[in-house]
Structure 1
Amino acid sequence: MLPIIHASEYYQTSFPGDDRRFRAPDIAIPYTFADYATGSDAVLDAAFNTINGD
């Protein structure tokens, strides 16, 4: 199973001494204009491919 986490509001888990600039996602999915133009969902496709082991 692939857990999908989505934040609908700001949530901070760091502390004042945390000097990391950001936390990169485990799976980065680029979203292109071609995806938008064709109405495809690259994130959903990646999720299905990960679940199905493709």
Structure 2
Amino acid sequence: MNSCKANHCIECTVTQCANHCQTENYCALDRILVGTHEANPTMDQCTDCMSFEKK
């Protein structure tokens, strides 16, 4: 993403995501969806960015 418009409200270090601004650790989306893959999430490892798109 060359002309990435970083959303400074959403920090992100997942450089493998198509929405990651490569020159800054921010997401380019206006908003993201955070979800879970667990029936009863109890720690941060149980949550996922559902807006993730593989490059």
* TM-score calculated relative to the size of structure 2: 0.21
Higher relative contact order (CA 8 A, sep 6+): 1
Please identify which structure carries the higher helix content.
1
Which has more radius of gyration? 1
